[in-house]
Amino acid sequence: MAISSDLSLPNVLRRIVAAACELVDARYGALGVIGPGEGGLERGLVEFITVGADEETIKKIGPYPQGRGILGLLVTDPKPLRLRNLQDDAKSWGFPPNHPPMHSFLGVPIRIRGTVFGNLYLTEKRHADEFSKEDEDLAVALASAAAVAIENARLLARVHELAIVEERERIARDLHDIVLQRLFATGLALQILESRARDDAHIATGLHQAVSDLDDTVRDIRGAIFALNAYELGERSVRVLILALAAEARGSLGFEPRVHFEGPVDAALPPALIAHLHATLREILSNVARHAGASSVDIHLTANADLALRVVDNGRGIGGDPTSGNGLRNIAARASELGGSASVAPAEGGGTRVEWRVPFQPADPTAQLMRS
């Protein structure tokens, strides 16, 4: 009942370990989540939840285990294992410095639909020298209940994820069908007023600027709509990659850069070009965070005859040789490798403008499909 009372997966996993320790009277407990072992990698532990050791002890121990030694034995041979003394076993790798002493050991796998999700590791039986067969049976029974709780938590997380996707689609529809249409109507009305106000240059100029601002807003909203619809494209979407980098930069900049797209930036770009673009933008944003002292950054990505990335900040500007830093030299080298160019110059009104431009050559989608 305790482990099923919460449907947050991290909380469920911690409750499972705490319940196991209490059930078999163990001083320390852990749950190691097993990774898939894709791409030729061996299956190993990708997450390790512990109970019993305080935060200071955990920090002193260092990185969590990856699934070797006795812990790895349960990964490769998932069946209950009891040991009177861990360190007497031939497969034991020993403990790292600052690790608390552990002797008695009990490990059981947690299976979900026939697949091993992870293993429960329990050590240091409090009131006996070793864990009993009864302890093993109790831990196995708990592992079965834990599997149900974990599966329920994962299903709930998937439901929430699908709900987010559905909400994104609804927002995208509303932006397209309602907001954009109203902006178009407002823009047309302003254009009519502009044509009637040509005798007053001041009013005409203001109306023209308002129309231009509306055009920019429409482009931004179209980009947002595409990003919302591309939510499940992941790294295959250039727009999603750029938006993710902008969100990531909030931590170092203290604010999130504004992003502007123009043209078919999500055409079938060659993977090498996408990799260079991603690395270039990351380098530029890193330079801004380290040197500019800016309060705003605008990222413009345009796909026409060339693929052009322009990043403008309002910081302290450039001094000395703008290409003297390794980061800027790397940016220029990436552009040159692709037959393009890079430049750094003062921005209008202060700050710095970095422009990176390469030939725009979309990959052949049919060729890509044949290769895959």
Report if residue 298 sits inside a domain.
yes
Q: How many structural domains comprise the chain? A: 2
Same domain (yes/no): 148, 280: no
Same domain (yes/no): 143, 263: no
**Cβ partners under 8 Å of residue 193, min gap 6:** 207
Same domain (yes/no): 242, 149: no
Same domain (yes/no): 143, 241: no
* Candidate from 52-66, 121-135, 216-230 with smallest mean pLDDT: 216-230
Residue 12: what pLDDT? Answer: 80
pLDDT, tens digit, 9 for 90 and up, residues 292-331: 889 999 999 988 878 899 999 998 887 654 555 556 788 8
H helices of 230-360, in order, are 238-253, 271-287, 326-337
**Section 257-268 average pLDDT:** 78
What are the angstrom distances between the C-alpha of 140 and each of 107, 137, 165?
9, 5, 37
**Residue 106 bridge partners (DSSP):** 82, 122
* Candidate from 122-126, 174-178, 179-183, 327-331 with smallest mean pLDDT: 174-178
Residue 173 predicted with pLDDT over 80: no
Last residue of a domain, one of 122, 140, 159: 159
Same domain (yes/no): 149, 252: no
Q: What is the CATH number of the domain that holds 141?
A: 3.30.450.40
Which has the higher per-residue pLDDT, 342 or 65? 342
Q: How is residue 318 annotated by DSSP?
A: -
**Residue 295 bridge partners (DSSP):** none
Q: How is residue 360 annotated by DSSP?
A: -
Same domain (yes/no): 14, 154: yes
Report if residue 104 sits inside a domain.
yes
Residue 354: what pLDDT? Answer: 93
Which has the higher per-residue pLDDT, 322 or 238? 238
212-226, 280-294, 308-322, 356-370: range with highest mean pLDDT: 280-294
As given in the structure block, the two tokens for residue 240 are 């999603």
Same domain (yes/no): 149, 288: no
The whole-angstrom separation of Cα 9 and Cα 147 is 11
The whole-angstrom separation of Cα 287 and Cα 289 is 5
**Cβ partners under 8 Å of residue 357, min gap 6:** 306, 307, 308, 309, 335, 340, 341, 342
Report if residue 53 sits inside a domain.
yes
Average pLDDT, the chain: 77
As given in the structure block, the two tokens for residue 218 are 């429409």
Q: Which domain holds residue 73?
A: 9-159
Q: What is the CATH number of the domain that holds 325?
A: 3.30.565.10
Same domain (yes/no): 13, 154: yes
Report if residue 149 sits inside a domain.
yes
Last residue of a domain, one of 127, 144, 159: 159
Report if residue 333 sits inside a domain.
yes
pLDDT band at 265 (very low <50, low <70, confident <90, very high): confident
Last residue of a domain, one of 159, 191, 226: 159
Q: Within its chain, how far is the Cα of 321 from the centroid?
A: 35
47-56, 130-139, 204-213: range with highest mean pLDDT: 130-139
As given in the structure block, the two tokens for residue 347 are 């921005």
Same domain (yes/no): 268, 131: no
Residue 352: what pLDDT? Answer: 92
Length of the chain: 372
Same domain (yes/no): 264, 127: no
Report if residue 122 sits inside a domain.
yes
Report if residue 220 sits inside a domain.
no
Segment holding 192, helix H or strand E: helix 180-196
Report if residue 115 sits inside a domain.
yes
Residue 368: what pLDDT? Answer: 36
Number of other residues whose CB lies within 10 A of the CB of residue 337: 11
Same domain (yes/no): 151, 275: no
* Candidate from 186-190, 233-237, 355-359 with smallest mean pLDDT: 233-237
Residue 41 predicted with pLDDT over 60: no
**Section 260-270 average pLDDT:** 74
pLDDT, tens digit, 9 for 90 and up, residues 12-32: 888 888 889 999 999 999 888
Same domain (yes/no): 135, 270: no
